[in-house]
Amino acid sequence: MYVADQTWPELGDYVAEESVAVVPLGSTEQHGPHLPLATDHLIAEGLAREAADRTGFLCTPTVNVGVSPHHRQFHGTMWVDGPQFRDYVESLTRNLAYHGIDRVVYVNAHGGNVQHLREVGRRLRDDGTLYAIEWMWDESIPDLVEEAFEQNGPHGGPKETAMIQHLAPELVREEELESARDGGVRDIEAAAHLRKNGARTFYDAVENSENGVFGDQTGATPEIGERLFEAAAEQLVELLEWLDGRRLDDLLAPAHVDPQPGSRRE
């Protein structure tokens, strides 16, 4: 159920019986010469909508701009800073809580959002507002992703290429797949020289990859993308159903261990 397509009485009927919502989040940032800037938020929205359709749970509009300053040197990349992103997502989620939602899954497709979504989830759980967790699509199916590609990559690589070939093939510049591979970092281990004595010496993607991408994009196909999408959607559905079946009290922050502070004071 997509919230923006419903009327307010219909949503009233929903929250009278259900309390789960999915919030898709991505980014608008460079993904090489072959993929659109919309890559991450297209993947997040596609998976969130699919899982909502399969389960009947509520899906909100997508947060299209995320924490992406590490891609800022590439044309068109948009970003918000971490504190503003956290405050925005927290405010949006508190809005859901006001309307009766008490369990939220952040359906995320951008690595730069992860730590911030975890922080927002902790804030909301610790003050007893609701239970919110971050879910990253490729982390739900790591074995399948690893099996599918000989040279994978964390950004603009074959896994994201295959997903967009499946979801929005008209947006993939197929003629640029080889240049994406050859102008980027095909083997992620080739960037290991940017780590010194256990420290990461880089901050921005352009310091690692001239065209901002990693992996061998020529290994991607729409068929592989469909397999990845279906497997990830199934994982998300199972997560939502698990979440729906838990007592809220069991999801919120546990009490302090015994003895309770001050329990022996006179």
pLDDT tens sequence across 248-262: 999 999 999 999 898
The stretch 84-93 carries a mean pLDDT of 98
Q: How many CB atoms lie within 10 A of CB 243?
A: 17
Q: What is the mean pLDDT of the chain?
A: 95
Say if CB 107 and CB 19 are below 8 A apart: no
Give Cα 217 distance to the centre of its chain. 21
Q: Compute the Cα dihedral for 159, 112, 252, 248 and give only its sign.
A: negative
Top-confidence range, 88-97, 149-158, 177-186: 88-97
The type of residue at 242 is W
pLDDT confidence tier of residue 193, bands split at 50, 70 and 90 = low
pLDDT of residue 176: 97
Is residue 95 over pLDDT 80? yes
pLDDT of residue 211: 95
Q: Using one digit for the tens of pLDDT, what is the confidence trace for 199-223?
A: 888 899 999 899 999 999 999 999 9
Is residue 191 over pLDDT 80? no
d(CA 95, CA 264): 40
Say if CB 222 and CB 166 are below 8 A apart: yes
pLDDT of residue 79: 98
Is residue 5 over pLDDT 80? yes
pLDDT of residue 264: 87
Q: To the nearest whole percent, how much of the chain has pLDDT over 70?
A: 98
Phi first, then psi: give them for residue 36, nearest 5 degrees: -75, 160
Task: Show the domains of the chain with their CATH numbers.
Answer: 3-249 (3.40.50.10310)
pLDDT of residue 154: 86
Question: Which CA distances in Å does 99 have to 29, 130, 162, 172, 212?
Answer: 32, 12, 37, 39, 41
Q: Using one digit for the tens of pLDDT, what is the confidence trace for 227-256?
A: 999 999 999 999 999 999 999 999 999 999
DSSP character string of 120-177: HHHHHHHTTS-EEEEEEGGGGSHHHHHHH-SS--SSSSHHHHHHHHHH-GGG--GGGH
d(CA 146, CA 26): 22
Output the six-digit token pair for 170.
Answer: 């008209």
The stretch 11-38 carries a mean pLDDT of 97
d(CA 227, CA 220): 12
pLDDT confidence tier of residue 76, bands split at 50, 70 and 90 = very high
pLDDT of residue 181: 94
For the stretch 134-137, contacts whose Cβ atoms lie closer than 8 Å and that sit 24 or more positions apart, written own/partner, are: 134/106, 134/108, 135/105, 135/106, 135/107, 135/108, 135/236, 135/239, 136/108, 136/109, 136/111, 137/43, 137/44, 137/47, 137/107, 137/108, 137/109, 137/232, 137/236
The stretch 32-48 carries a mean pLDDT of 98
d(CA 37, CA 39): 6
pLDDT of residue 190: 67
Q: What is the pTM of this model?
A: 0.95
Strand partners, 38: none
pLDDT of residue 192: 65
The stretch 101-127 carries a mean pLDDT of 97
For the chain, where are the E strands, in sequence order? 20-25, 58-59, 103-108, 131-136, 195-196, 199-200
More confident residue, 221 or 263: 221
